Chain A
Amino acid sequence: GAVVSQHPSWVICKSGTSVKIECRSLDFQATTMFWYRQFPKQSLMLMATSNEGSKATYEQGVEKDKFLINHASLTLSTLTVTSAHPEDSSFYICSARGPMLGLGETQYFGPGTRLLVL
């Protein structure tokens, strides 16, 4: 299957700092990338969808000024958690999808980034 990488795999930061997480599709062109957040023992929560070269579409309740998403190329999307606070501590996962060519297209997930804000 296709490979999606995320960097860093974990990060610890002080409250008030900003953290950038990178998501890369290594062997395919991702026209669409997704950012999810997972709380302990809960399902994946979609935060936003981004198409290459255009602004991200945020899900209801997700602050776009706090979670800045950039999808500058077909292989890279970044999520920046601005002025992080302890409640932002979570497991962030990205996924990538190629162009929708037919009936359905598989999303491939990155390994996730664990963020701990002190």
Chain B
Amino acid sequence: DQQVKQNSPSLSVQEGRISILNCDYTNSMFDYFLWYKKYPAEGPTFLISISSIKDKNEDGRFTVFLNKSAKHLSLHIVPSQPGDSAVYFCAASAMYGGSQGNLIFGKGTKLSVKP
């Protein structure tokens, strides 16, 4: 059973436009959510996170929105740049519930930003 789902395996966006990457989760115990960016043959790079007590967190061009009632989060990148082309992983963790805060990853969305 996949607890963190990224239903779009790929997304193509024009440079300068907004990229919106979506993520859904099923476990209501999740209380911390993260987005990672990954280039081929490299480790994931932490981008931005949000805790369940917030519904929005912004860092430069990156904004993460959390809708707890819908169990949905999204990453907005504005404006998108060709260097943003990578695979983006959504991850969630639960402080309580026996999982010790371990991250559960989605399968990733490959973002392509075209010049």
- The answer on a CB contact under 8 Å between B32 and A103 is yes
Q: A4 contacts which chain B residues (CB < 8 A)?
A: 43
Number of interface residues of B (CB under 8 A): 25
- Within residues 32 to 73 of chain A, which ones have a CB less than 8 A from any CB in chain B? 32, 34, 42-44, 46, 49
Task: Say whether B36 faces chain A, with CB atoms less than 8 Å apart.
Answer: yes
In contact, A103 and B34 (Cβ under 8 angstroms): no
Tell me the complex Cα distance, A42–B105, Å.
11
Return A111 CB to nearest CB of chain B, in Å: 5
Chain A interface helix/strand/loop/mixed? strand
In the complex, are the beta carbons of A114 and B41 less than 8 A apart?
Answer: yes
CA distance A113 to B39 in the complex (A): 14
Contact B102 A34 (CB under 8 A): yes
Cβ contact within 8 Å between B100 and A44: no
B89 near A44 (CB under 8 angstroms)? Answer: yes
- How many chain A residues touch B (Cβ–Cβ < 8 Å)? 27
Which residue of chain B has the shortest Cβ distance to A100 in the bound complex?
Answer: B101
Residues from chain A with a CB closer than 8 A to the CB of B34 are 106-107
Q: Which residues of B contact A95 (CB under 8 A)?
A: 43-44
A100–B95 touching, CB < 8 Å: yes
* B53 located at the interface, meaning its Cβ lies under 8 Å from any Cβ of chain A in the complex: yes
